[in-house]
Amino acid sequence: MPFKFSRHPWASAASAALLAGQAFHTPALRDGATGAYLVRCSLRFPLGHLLTTPFSTLADMVTYNSARQDKVLVVYLLLGYWIWRLWRPRPLRRAIRGYAAYLAGVLAFLAWAILVPRPAARLAAHDPRSRAPLPPSASIQAR
The contacts of residue 78 (CB under 8 Å, 6+ apart) are 103, 106
Q: What is the pLDDT of residue 2?
A: 61
What is the distance in angstroms between the CA of the first residue and the CA of the last residue of the chain? 47
Same domain membership, residue 74 and residue 95: yes
Q: Give yes or no for a contact between 58 and 112, defined as CB atoms under 8 angstroms apart.
A: no
Structural domain containing residue 134: 35-52+120-143
Q: What is the pLDDT of residue 140?
A: 44
Same domain membership, residue 88 and residue 77: yes
Same domain membership, residue 128 and residue 96: no
Neighbouring CB atoms inside 10 A of 41's CB total 16
Q: What is the count of structural domains for the chain? A: 2
22 lies in a domain? no
Q: Mean pLDDT by 10-residue block, N- to C-terminus, for the chain (143 residues)?
A: 65 84 78 81 84 86 85 86 80 84 88 86 77 53 40
Read off φ and ψ for residue 88, nearest 5 degrees: -125, 80
